[in-house]
Amino acid sequence: MIEMRNNSHFKESKIGTLKSNVHGFVDLFALSTSSVAPAFSIAASYGVIAMYLGFHSISAIILVFPVWLASSFIFRKFNRLYPNAGASYHWGNIAVSKVYGSGQSWIITLAYLLSIPPIVIPAGEYTGDLLYSIGAIPQTALSNPVEIFSLGTFWVFVTLVASLLGARPTAKLTELFLAVEVSVIAMFVVIAVMSLHDSVVNRPSISWFIPPIASRNEYVNLLSSLPIIATVLDGWEIDSYASEESVNRERWPGTTGVIGLVLVFTIYVVTMTLMQSEVPIKVLSSSVDPLYAWGMFVAPKYAIVMDLAVIASTASSLWLTTYILSRAWYAMSREGLLPSYLGYLSKTRLVPYVGLILISALAELVNFLMIFSRSIEGFFSVLLSFSGVFLMAEFSMDSLTGIVLFLRNKDLEFRKLYLIVSVLTFVSFTAMICSWVYSELRYSAIFISLVMPALVIAMLERMKDRGKSSVQNA
């Protein structure tokens, strides 16, 4: 029997404890919703999805959504049993083994570390567009790599400062930015609905909501878009990584993630339906910011306001992704997997400041490499795809953790139901990863090379455990 609600299962190091009872229900809800980043996700990813799938973009998100929703309920159950800053990593350690958890730690690190750079570049570009719109910079600055790099650097710095201020200020700043984001989107939805009779470009069709499987080419395009869709539906799980810092840690974390995911999905379906109805699909698929393009069609005088929503969404997504990774690293260092300095906490704010600084430095390095590469768009697309693939890999491993947990513990409430859900989500996520590898064979070697360190880390942990067992037996 695995002992429930026991975060001292592993020998604790001398690393300090995160500040407790910081995040209330509203804070966790805001973190989960804002981390999914509806405005940024549509602006940065919808154009790529539309390039692959055209009018079927909405149907692809609808097709994948139930898998993510089912996964969010598994996270909710995990949080009832083991609230921990390491979330996925810690659950793998507890329910399966330290060898499994150590390998999972690499997948988690890649999933979130690769997610940060594709946020930094758009943050700089969207800020540049806003500054140009208000006449603060000339148009030539928008094509100047140094200018975009500098604006991206500004947001990396803001993220670092916001993160170092502590969990409470981070949550409150997130709530403010989320209010701006949702208010602007709601305003444009109202305007779009009121003007729908006169502004319809493409009449809505039931086919928009049915997955495209008519031809092999459409099927391959659907598979290629899956990692991008993963980045659109990811982020709600931040409340799990914030569990140790939350009030009522065995009730609220996980629940707010489910609510945030459902809310954002609703925003996607409503907004994307209106966008496809009122904007030519070729414009959406070729635009670097489909939300702004939509704003220009329905309310050109106020389209600049849409930039505020996208920037607010992008900025909060940046520091919240950093939040997730910093807490995961903190838990890994606390349990001896990573160097202890990654778990060092600042004296007053009690945040893992070394990890936060390192994450910001790595983000800035990739920001530099992307900006001065020959093809920013190509670099951005590859990073976005790989971040999505490893996010799916993380959730696939979480589902496998659930299978093991619900098989072993026969006295858990609704055990059989959670076991079935775990099996279905594991099969679904694994199938999506394999399908993407099949459709993008050119990237298979890179994918395999990125996975290999996880196996090496797991093997080293196994050797370490065997060494300890030998000493104890002697």
- At 38, the pLDDT band (50, 70, 90 cuts) reads very high
| Relative orientation angle of helices 303-334 and 290-298, to the nearest 10 degrees | 160
Q: What is the length of the chain?
A: 474
- Quote the pLDDT of residue 373: 67
**pLDDT tens digits, one per residue of 441-470:** 788 888 889 999 999 999 988 888 776 665
- Quote the pLDDT of residue 91: 96
- Quote the pLDDT of residue 466: 72
- Quote the pLDDT of residue 10: 42
17-26, 77-86, 204-213, range with the lowest pLDDT: 204-213
**pLDDT tens digits, one per residue of 229-240:** 988 999 999 999
Res 384 pLDDT > 90: no
Across the range 171-189, mean pLDDT stands at 95
- Quote the pLDDT of residue 366: 82
Across the range 333-354, mean pLDDT stands at 93
Res 291 pLDDT > 70: yes
- Quote the pLDDT of residue 471: 53
* Percentage with pLDDT > 70 across the chain: 92
- Quote the pLDDT of residue 205: 87
Q: Please, what is the average pLDDT of the chain?
A: 88
**pLDDT tens digits, one per residue of 209-252:** 987 666 667 778 888 888 889 889 999 999 999 999 999 988 89
Show the domains of the chain with their CATH numbers: 25-464 (1.20.1740.10)
- Quote the pLDDT of residue 207: 85
Res 7 pLDDT > 70: no
